[in-house]
Amino acid sequence: MAAFEPVLLRNRGVEGSTTLKVYESRGGYQAVRKALKQTPDEIVAEVKKANLRGRGGAGFPAGVKWGFLPKDRKKTLLCVNGDESEPPTFCNRVLMEHDPHQLIEGTIIAAYAVQAQTVYIYLRGEFHEQFHIVQKAVDQAYAAGYLGKKIFGSDFSIEMYLHRGAGAYVCGEETGLIESLEGKRGWPRIKPPFPAIEGAFRLPTVVNNVETLSCVPHIIERGADWFTGIGPAHSAGPKLFCISGPVKRPGCYEGAMDITVRELIEREDMGGGMIDGKHVKAVFPGGCSMGILSADELDMKLDFDDPRNFGLLGLGTAAAVVIPHDMDMRVVLRNMARFYGTESCGQCTQCREGTAWMHKIATRIAADAGRPEDLDVLLETARNMGMMPGLSICGLPDGATFPIETTVKKFRSELEEYILAQPKGRAEYLLRVLN
Amino acid sequence: MSWKAIDRNQPVIEKDAAPVLSEAVREKIRSFFPRYETKRAVLLPALHIVQNTLGYISWQAMAEIAEILEIHPADVMNTTSFYTHFWTHPKGEKVVTVCRSISCEAMGGAKMLDTIKKELGIDEHGTTKDGRYSLVTEECLAGCDHAPCLLINEKMHKCVKAEDIPTLLADVDNNKLSMPRSDLFDPPSEKQAASATMQDSVVGTTSDVSEMREAE
Ligand SMILES: Cc1cc2nc3c(=O)[nH]c(=O)nc-3n(C[C@H](O)[C@H](O)[C@H](O)COP(=O)(O)O)c2cc1C
Ligand code: SF4
Ligand code: FES
């Protein structure tokens, strides 16, 4: 297979890639100059034509989202979603660490396209080093006149601010992010109204992921046809894939969306295979919230559509973690359940209680005190709390449903074996003592 | 059974207590007003600034922030208590934040956490007697390619092995960043020092794991 020529990661490994000087010497800030000579509508049309689907998890086409903004709006806001807290995702971090100016350039173009004069880059609280890198890059861009009043000598002015979160997964949800930006608890809002109509400070607001915006300069520079020429039609463009767990080369790799999970794990220029003679037991291929694959489902294609054929929610963030053969599935189940149990914001009854129950049950199973019926209780709980059945406000509980449901379904016999091998009466004893 | 006497008349916030936020901190908070549509939106930056200066966000500090932002103190408490990074009681000098999510767990994170607990002699949310370290856990730190990982204050430590923990904790510089800090949320006194290091130096972190493994 011909090696994929990196686009988004082309500056990774170049010395000083985070500085303006190096970024410009490698062709940076040309796309924005080109964009400012076009009308905003032309840019929206180009991005629409490229079918740039959002990289933040939902896969909604960016150009279409930008088209939802009311025509008669006075002021528009653009928020860059750099909250990246979905385990095990780190591609936004890599983009910000190695190429912050690419993000800034893409953001300026997007802001011009939607006529947003104020941009907030929302960074999760744990991104300390990344914050200093991006802030430095923003300072450099201001100093060069690429941000601020009348940028590049055009009539367009733009202010860009970094806004730091403080440790809450749910602030990655776009309306949770908006609430957090307003200085409140990161409690997602009921939609509609969608942020494009009424977002932060009740102004029309566009929220886009870091990777989505990093694609924009390349679309403007090389054209929508170049972009759609990469990968299958429904999943066009370069994509970052993350791979972690016990593989030889954990990291972030770029490719077209035509590779399989197996390739991501085994290819020499990607995961490079397993370490220490371990083999694959299971994989979370798209961030935890999308669900789990068993070892015989590794031929799933990492595009926006194929994951559904394997009972998963979607492509998610395309970040895979490999579960090795010697890892106890009860530990995996507990880890998943704990994540959603502690990260639910607590606004909706079904989500708050459901994720907490699942956490308790999974903890008990992992402590050798499960009951055979617990697995069915988990399935029932998982099915009765999401946004899709209309019981909750945001997508977090749906993201909790899939890992729990697929783990229980695909690894049921292993879990049952553990439960049957427990000391007799332990579950009942613990239940009596604890309740 | 003996009764412990608690002085229930002790107010949480002293009346007429001296303000805890200096004028410099207040000025810094106010400097964020032009960035947002409302004053309330400055709350998160304000909390970051106050925690960076005082080490934690006391109730007195919350009341003072409320006054600056012209909101009710309960609003400040409401927001502060939602975010895990803000604490309302003092913590140790260095806060160790250990990742416990799936990649780190698959790579030996539980053993790493246990070693830290043993080494420091504290449990999660504990602080050592000498006040040097506090220990907390967090979900995925977005450093899964370097699992297992942890933060010591702002500094990320990657691919941490359980046997390296004693050396790591003994190192006095284990919280020093390899890049110049931006002055945005620095305590005002450090502002100048920080901006002095803000030259056009090359910033960046290693993020290639195979490189790190080869270097060993
Ligand atoms: C619980 C939850 C957490 C989310 N976390 C993130 C996140 O950390 N980063 C992100 O970019 N999108 C996240 N999203 C998706 C955002 O809501 C939104 O779809 C995305 O930022 C839109 O950007 P895009 O169209 O460029 O993908 C999350 C969604 C949910 C439901
Ligand atoms: S679904 Fe869960 S996380 Fe989302 S708003 Fe409701 S309680 Fe919060
Ligand atoms: S799982 Fe530990 S950093 Fe992501």
Q: Give, as one character, the DSSP assignment of residue A87.
A: T
Residues A320 and A333 placed together within one structural domain of the fold: no
Nearest to B102 among A128, A250, A284 (CB): A284
CA distance B189 to chain A (A): 18
Cβ of A252 under 8 Å from any chain B Cβ? yes
Q: Can you tell me which atom of ligand 1 is nearest the CA of A395?
A: 31
Q: Is B141 in the pocket of ligand 3 (CB under 6 A)?
A: yes
Position with higher pLDDT, B79 vs B11: B79
pLDDT in tens, A220-261: 999 999 999 999 989 999 999 999 999 999 999 999 999 999
Looking at B82, B117, B133, which one is the last position of a domain?
A: B82
Which distant-in-sequence residues (6+ apart) come within 8 Å of A415 by Cβ? A329, A330, A333, A365, A370, A375, A408
Contacts with A, B 174-193, CB within 8 Å: 177-182, 184-185
For residue A223, the tally of other CB atoms under 10 A from its CB is 14
Q: Which amino acid is at A17?
A: S
Pair B163, B107 in one domain: yes
Domain count, chain A: 3
**E strands present in A50-158:** 77-82, 118-123
Whether A4 maps to a domain, the answer reads: no
The confidence score (pLDDT) of residue B191 equals 39
Q: Which of A183-187, B89-93, B134-138, B179-183 comes out lowest in average pLDDT? A: B179-183
User: Could you read off the pLDDT of A208-224 as tens digits, one per residue?
Assistant: 999 999 999 999 999 99
What pLDDT does A208 receive? 97
Rounded-to-integer distance, Cα A336 and Cα A332, Å: 6
Q: Are residues A319 and A333 in the same domain?
A: no
Same domain, A116 and A220: yes
For residue A330, give Cα distances in angstroms to A250, A367, B38. Answer: 24, 9, 47
**Domain range for A181:** 20-228
**Pick among A93, A119, A343 to test the B interface (most B CBs inside 10 A):** A93
Asked whether A387 and A397 are in contact (CB, 8 A), the reply is yes
* C-alpha–C-alpha distance, residues A332 and B199, integer Å: 46
Res. A194: pLDDT tops 90: yes
Amino acid B18: pLDDT:
84
Same domain, A352 and A428: yes
Q: What is the pLDDT of residue A425?
A: 82
Averaged confidence pLDDT in chain B:
83
Owning domain of residue B117:
94-170
Q: For chain B, how many structural domains are there in total?
A: 2
In this predicted model, what pLDDT tens digit does every residue of A285-306 receive, in sequence order? Answer: 999 999 999 999 999 999 999 9
Is B156 found in the same domain as B131? yes
Sign of dihedral through CA atoms A301, A305, A309, A314? Answer: positive
B positions 117-136 inside 8 Å of A (CB): none
- Average pLDDT of chain A? 94
Indicate which atom in ligand 2 lies nearest the CA of residue A355. Answer: 2
Relative to beta strand B150-152, strand B155-157 is antiparallel
- Domain identity same for A53 and A194: yes
> Is A38 part of any domain?
yes
Instruction: Kindly report the backbone phi and psi dihedral angles of residue B135, in degrees, each rounded to the nearest multiple of 5, phi listed first.
Output: -125, 130
Looking at residue A317, which CATH number applies to its domain? 3.10.20.600
Q: Which ligand is nearest to the CA of B143?
A: 3
In a domain, A7, yes or no: no
- In whole angstroms, what is the distance from residue A116 CA to residue A151 CA? 13
The reply to whether A215 and A190 lie within a common domain is: yes
Residue B5 located in a structural domain: no
Give the percent of chain B with pLDDT over 70: 77
